[in-house]
Amino acid sequence: MIIYAQEKLIDTLGEIIPAAKEASLAIYKSADFVQPRYAVYLMVEHAGNLRLFTARLNGELVGYCAVIVDTSIHKESEILATSSSFYIRKDSSDILRALKFFRYIKQQLKNEGVNEWALTTTTDVDISPLFKRLGAELYETVHRLKLG
């Protein structure tokens, strides 16, 4: 049985780093393509704005989702959660497990008073169908222009 929890990055960094490398390798075919700035994540956590949700099977990390929570920059009365990174180990990544994990996160954020959760996905691994099953609606499209 998978156990979902909210944990501290500072306490789980030794597990998160290899998981992030595994996710980078699976998606981008390079363990070093994505290079998270963990010191910045830890500063955000220290400021009280990082939520790290984990999924564990028999105590072993099989998934995580890092979410940044803060007052919306556009509307002071709203508390906005923005997903920063998400991972579910390949052998644990069926849609129902992912959906259960995201439903757990959604409930925890609601319990905390979050009004809106911005969920992002890449075109490389588009998990929009999962977000739709959660009840999320397409809100905006982001384009990236490389400048160098």
Enter the pTM of the model.
0.89
Selection from 16, 33, 15 nearest residue 24 by Cα: 33
Per-residue pLDDT tens over the stretch 76-113:
999 999 999 888 887 766 777 889 999 999 999 999 99
65-82: average pLDDT: 94
| Sole residue written with tokens 């390079």 | 30
For residues 37 and 68, the answer to whether their CB atoms sit within 8 Å is no
Per-residue pLDDT tens over the stretch 102-142:
999 999 999 999 999 999 888 877 888 989 999 999 988 88
